[in-house]
Amino acid sequence: MTITRKIELRSHDTSIGIWQDDPNDPTFEREIYGGLNRLLRDLGWTVGQDPKVHKRHRILSPQNRLAKRGDLRAKIRITGRAIEVTVWAETWPIDNPNGREYDFGKLARMTYLDRLRFRLLHRRIAAWLQERAIVAIAAPGRSELPSVGGITAAEYIARDYAASVHKDKELGRPVPRYAYNCTSRDERTIEHGSKVWFLDRKGRICRGTAFYNINNMWWVVVGAYGLRNLATHEILVEKPEGLRVKRNERARRERLEAELSKAVIAMNFERAATLRRVLFGDAPVFLIWSKEKDAYYRSCSAGYTTDASRAGRYLRDEAERIVAPHDFLTIIDPTAVAA
């Protein structure tokens, strides 16, 4: 039988996009989307409904599937002539409050073995498609992020410069046009290729090499595969004091407030009082209510909750600073809620 179906396979980080040329092919959902779900089951994945989609948009549930295998998770979604498979792992610390699925750089965050498992899955999907269609595999270009076994950070930047339309023709790379695009947090000038300092997601001080990207953004390379895209206000040129001291005040507060909420819910009021003193001393604290979301702000304005015991606590000046620009926010005394 002659194969006439034409498909383009596009990849970005841990997302696999399957695009069909013919948008009016009624067999695409049954043969490719349905067949892909069966392929995953044959490869040892458990494939079923996406609970969130099924609960909120039940009519769309057949076009959305959630797959699991070990620590790996995958969402499979079809929209028209396109299928998207997004893979992540349940192993790294959550950065995005909406979940690991929405974190950037998912491939680099995976363990070494999970990266190998993802690459094997990618190859098997490509091979499966090639048995059913004429497949054009889009070049990874800048979409392939640095990782062990893949490209290095230096290679990624070189590809980015090659594809950039903002580069200086003689230098072959972008050049900052204005002084503020290379002025660091400590008000020094960031030089292309120089050593700089920055804070990682856990508040630790790290050192890397800065390469100009665009506007006030700079690539910072750490080791062979580490790559960060940082704004000038996140970069330090001068070596900071106390390299071993973590700058994790926000994470510390979120953790302590979470423990405070647990103590209140468990009615362990002695522990709750101790945690409150550690956090706020004897100063009065307040909650922030959003009429727009019909919920309280969580700690550090990160998310919402309808449970007052899980709501974030704020000092008066903190609450006023957050509420002032918004007419839909209100400061609430937690004792009034308890009453």
pLDDT tens track for 141-186:
555 677 777 788 999 899 888 877 778 888 889 999 899 999 999 9
One domain, residues 30 and 128: yes
Range(s) of the domain holding residue 325: 249-338
DSSP per residue, 78-120:
EETTEEEEEEEES-SPP-STT-GGG-S-HHHHS-HHHHHHHHH
251: confidence class by pLDDT, cuts 50, 70, 90: confident
Q: Domain boundary residue among 110, 138, 166?
A: 138
Q: Is the pLDDT of residue 90 over 60?
A: yes
d(CA 86, CA 67): 10
Phi and psi (nearest 5°) for 244?
-85, -5
Residue for token pair 């953790």: 255
The reply to whether 31 and 107 lie within a common domain is yes
Tell whether 22 and 109 lie within a shared domain. Answer: yes
Q: Look over the chain and give the mean of its residue pLDDT values, rounded to a whole number.
A: 89
CB 336 within 8 A of CB 281: no
User: 49, exposed or middle or buried, with CB in 10 Å at 0-12, 13-18, 19+?
Assistant: middle
The answer on 207 and 171 residing in a single domain is: yes
For residue 139, is pLDDT > 80?
A: no
Given a cut of 70, is residue 338 above it in pLDDT?
A: no
The three-state (H, E, C) secondary structure of 127-170, written as one string: HHHHCCCEEEECCCHHHCCCCCCCCCHHHHHHHHHHHCCCEECC
Residue 216: which residues within 8 A CB-CB, separation 6 or more?
180, 181, 231, 232, 233
| 242 in any annotated domain | no
Query: Does residue 33 sit in the same domain as residue 85?
Result: yes
Task: Look at 227 and 336; give whichever has higher pLDDT.
Answer: 227
Final residue belonging to a domain, choices 113, 138, 163: 138
In a domain, 331, yes or no: yes
**Within a domain: 145:** no
**Same domain, residue pair 24 and 104:** yes
> Considering only 6-10, 86-90, 159-163, which range has the smallest mean pLDDT?
159-163
Pair 197, 207: CB distance under 8 Å = yes
Q: Structure pTM?
A: 0.49
Is the pLDDT score of 68 beyond 70?
yes
The answer to the question of residue 208 being in a domain is yes
Q: What is the pLDDT of residue 104?
A: 80
Q: Are residues 29 and 119 in the same domain?
A: yes
**H-helix or E-strand spanning residue 220:** strand 217-222
Count up the domains in the chain and report the number: 3
| Predicted confidence (pLDDT) at residue 255 exceeds the cutoff of 80 | yes
In a domain, residue 28? The reply is: yes
Q: Which token pair is 151? A: 């490209």
Query: Is residue 146 in a domain?
Result: no
- For residues 132 and 161, membership in a common domain is answered with no
Among 234, 266, 295, identify where a domain stops: 234
